Amino acid sequence: MTQLKVPLRHYLQFSDFSSEEYAYILNRSKVLKDKFKDYDTWHPLHDRTLAMIFEKHSTRTRLSFEAGMFQLGGHAVYLNTRDTQLGRGEPVEDAAQVISRMTDIIMIRTFGQDILERFAANSRVPVINGLTNEFHPCQVLADIFTFHELRGDIAGKIVTWVGDANNMAYTWLQAACILNFQFHFSGPAGYPLDMTRISASEQQHLKVFDSPLEACQGAHLVTTDVWTSMGYEEENQARLKAFSAWIVDGQKMSVAQADALFMHCLPAHRGEEVSSEVIDGPQSVVWEEAENRLHVQKALMEFLLCGKFN
Ligand code: CP
Ligand code: NVA
């Protein structure tokens, strides 16, 4: 069983770290990115194993965690519900006890946040949220790192969300509160943010707009995501109708700042939540965002297992 070098911490939602810790992780992500691009070998996680548990589909999350762990000198094991005992009803608590005695760090993509929390409460090693119905903190961390690289500090800026009140939207709102920027949200009637999930301090960073065009005015970053997240597929037809005016298109980008960026966590549906002209246009940084999952998650795993360097 692994001996922890630093006190046990989990990364279950964006609010688990402070603004000072994010300043360190963003800086460290850049150091690790540059090191890797320079072929400068860095193996702080030699002999360590990452368990990756997937109860939903993934391309980016699986690949970025697996490649990242390899680059840090460790090894990653892919587990999914279909061919492990998790899919046959083994209690999450028992699985956490066992998996955390054989591995050193665990990433989970699952449905309810409660499942992740029950797993973490029974884990002897750090647990990372690789997406739940409620949050997707690794993606927003990569997005903020991308903004930081291209435009500098995000504090004081306006981030506009056009679309579904989903795991990404709630994570952005947590980030707005911790990193001190404004979050503009616009989605159709019938799909509002659940205000019972939003703290008083988060509300100070939130402005809700009926009109997606008004929400984009003056934005430094416009971002969206699929209208139907994994697990909600039976609502797809109703959502296609309800969200049709919430497409991020050239008109919406035209009222944002002249140097505004467009982000999407991917996978995307061109012609639904974003037009081809925007996602394939000059303001889009979706490929940078995807690549940066790798670099920020390396910094995250290093931080959770080794603490701070320098
Ligand atoms: N953005 C993201 O998490 O992608 P995957 O679903 O492919 O992992
Ligand atoms: N909101 C989407 C993100 C996919 C990466 C989902 O949960 O399916």
In order along its 310 residues, the chain shows pLDDT tens digits of 567 889 999 999 999 999 999 999 999 999 999 999 999 999 999 999 999 999 999 999 999 999 999 999 999 999 998 888 888 889 999 999 999 999 999 999 999 999 999 999 999 999 999 999 999 999 999 999 999 999 999 999 999 999 999 999 999 999 999 999 999 999 999 999 999 999 999 999 999 999 999 999 999 999 999 999 999 999 999 999 999 999 999 999 999 999 999 999 999 999 999 999 999 999 999 999 999 999 999 999 999 999 999 7
Would you state the structure tokens that stand for residue 186, as one six-digit string?
């616009």
Residue 107's DSSP bridge partners are 52, 128
- Give the CATH architecture of domain 139-289: 3-Layer(aba) Sandwich (3.40)
What atom in ligand 2 is closest to the CA of residue 139?
5
Threshold 0.95, pTM exceeds: yes
Q: Tell me, what DSSP letter sits at residue 93?
A: H
The residues that are catalytic are 109, 136, 139, 225, 265, 293
**Do 14-136+292-306 and 139-289 fold alike per CATH?**
yes
Domain coordinates in residue numbering, the chain: 14-136+292-306, 139-289
HSE-CB at 144 with a 13 A cutoff on CA atoms is 32
Return the closest-CA partner of residue 249 out of 267, 262, 266.
262
CA 227 / ligand 2 centre spacing (Å): 9
User: Does an H or E element contain 106, and which?
Assistant: strand 105-109
What superfamily would CATH give domain 14-136+292-306? Aspartate/ornithine carbamoyltransferase (3.40.50.1370)
